[in-house]
Chains A and B, each alone.
Chain A
Amino acid sequence: MSQVTLLLDASRRGDAAAVEQLFDLLYNDLRQLAHARLRRSGQFTLLDTTALVHESYLRLFKAGAIEANDRGHFMGYAAQVMRSIVVDFVRRRSADRRGGDAIHVDLDTAAAHVEDPREREVLQIHEALQELEKIDPRLVKVVEMRYFAGMTEQEVADALERSVRSVARDWEKARLFLATNLTP
């Protein structure tokens, strides 16, 4: 079996070390892709998370590291990793703006320190998702795929092996939760 498929299998069985390796692998891969994209298109480019996730999959698929029927599971994990990359990125930028030195900032209040409203929204969503995780982790998965990885409802439904209708319903509920919990 190919490497990523093996890790996906083990992750599904609940193997924590496999989950970790998978994240490590995806994080590095997605980061490198973003990096390469930046070099290609010069200083100003858009962080197109959707394209990055798809490109990462294609690369691994062509290299024979993942099997075709694992695409859905792969996307699920990739979305979670994308969330991590985006949040790291925003935090890093806001830290740079504050001088970049290491100040002990409480995670709960990190969002309050970010000046750019769009970036603040990302952090607020991230923090609200941590709350939502305790209430209904399934909704969090849907938000990660839709928002952080830009997947369509159909793609999310495929990845989670659920109906489009139930994914759409979860997305609505999650949006209402987030809209209520985000301070404008």
Chain B
Amino acid sequence: MRRRVFMKAGALSLVTMGLSPSFLRRSAYAMARGPAGKGRVLVCLFQRCAADALNVLVPFGERAYYQARPGIAVPAPKAGAANVALDLDGFFGLHPSMAPLVPLYQRGLLAPVAAVGSPSNTRSHFDAQDYMETATPDVKGTTSGWLNRYLAAKGTCEECLVNGKPSAFRAVALTAQTPRILEGPAATVAMDGLDAFALRASNPDAAARIEALYRTGQADVVHASGNEMFEAMKMLRAANPQQYAPRNGAQYPAGPFAQKLRQIAQLIRADVGLELAFADVGGWDTHVNQGGATGQLANRLDEFAKAIAAFVQDLGDKMGDVTVLTMSEFGRTVRQNGNGGTDHGHATTMFVIGDGLKGGKVHGRWPGLAPELLYEGRDLALTTDFRAVFAEVASRRLGATALDAVFPGFNTSSAGWLGIA
């Protein structure tokens, strides 16, 4: 890290001195935008249907928080007490179910972002997820997701090419169908699980014949896709990601979300050219009986936090090249409703996780929860556009340069960034 910083400063100073032959200009630009290259992986995790940000990242320093949520607030930290918020900085705490993430925060790997989200005022899950995945709030017609535009804009580093082409596993969604966020021209693969990328015929004869049908014949898009598929299948078989048992004592909890993270770790270890992975997890739409320190939301957060902690532990020192980004389409109402739950709100919380980030600090300006400070009189106000976080991570952490193409209509200048990466 130290050397990188030095080079960045060095190249820039050459420019300012007027010594800027084009190759130096290029490298200065690249450096200013951050390092790129093999092994940089972004893992996006979508909490679908609006996680209750205020009970995830608990503002226990706010009286208004406790006044608005008499039945479901998470109690403030107290030495020796169980089922209380886990103090991060004297004002914010993590939900007690997220205890596995506290060490990451202490080690500087975990950067929570408060009061972040989409500027759109929609409270529709459908619209808000659409906007977060296309990264074009209030614009419906966007045909591509921002992660796909990121892939297209970023290009593939030379060392990442497989037989001169981007790896078939460059971008993988562990979902049954390609998510909106990955829609677009760059090739991606969506699969429920690693063992799904296989021929289902259980006899070698049938498998060999179908491959031969695609290996012969004309050079058209159908045959070409077939050839690529069989190459990818061979590659996956040779790399055999499933051989990698969790390392460093990592223990993934049961549950589909944790298993997806485990498989993403296996793909990273198997070195199949993965640059982007996506998984989603539902169960956050807690309109009724969401609970406080324990209960429904606590149970969801338990798997969520354990899975992420296991993933980080599993990858160990690889976390310098891996960035985890969590998101949810909006937050929930500040006040609890008549059913011990919360309704659709506005600003939310994100987590950015990786080694070398400016973690160990809650990022984002806190707007406060006093009634007069609330968005439309009911919700946590927004102080950071989610695209500022996406853009900073894509640029500083992953080396993307053409940010305007990834986030059309958004001012991507670093002036609006939080300094997370």
Partners in one complex: no
